[in-house]
């Protein structure tokens, strides 16, 4: 699994997490989507999942970019 800082034409600077399809957990993705949509669960310490795209062997997740200065 690798994470890259990328520029998305509509979203600006985001993080792209690239992983093998076997590592992608669709249940985890569904739960995170519900948490992002319900404002009662809003937390500044949870990185927001934005998009997901599955290819033949790999999945790319577009996430909110967070730089902690490391």
Measured in whole angstroms, the distance separating CA 31 from the mean position of its chain's CA atoms is: 12
Which residue range is the domain that position 54 belongs to? 2-64
Evaluate whether residue 38 is within a structural domain.
yes
CATH classification of the domain holding 11: 3.30.200.20
**pTM recorded for the entire structure:** 0.77
Evaluate whether residue 70 is within a structural domain.
no
Per DSSP, 8 falls in state E
Evaluate whether residue 69 is within a structural domain.
no
pLDDT tens, residue by residue, 7-55: 999 999 999 999 999 998 888 777 777 777 776 766 777 788 888 899 9
The candidate with the shortest Cα–Cα distance to 57, out of 25, 18, 28, is 18
Evaluate whether residue 7 is within a structural domain.
yes
Evaluate whether residue 37 is within a structural domain.
yes
The count of structural domains within the chain is 1
Evaluate whether residue 54 is within a structural domain.
yes
Evaluate whether residue 50 is within a structural domain.
yes
């Amino acid at each position: 699994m690798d994470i890259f800082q990328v520029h998305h034409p509509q979203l600006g600077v985001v993080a792209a997490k690239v992983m093998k399809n076997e590592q992608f957990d669709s249940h985890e993705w569904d739960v995170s989507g519900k948490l992002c949509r319900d404002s009662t669960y809003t937390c500044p310490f949870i990185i927001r999942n934005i998009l997901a795209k599955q290819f033949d062997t790999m999945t790319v997740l577009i996430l909110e970019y967070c730089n902690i200065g490391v």
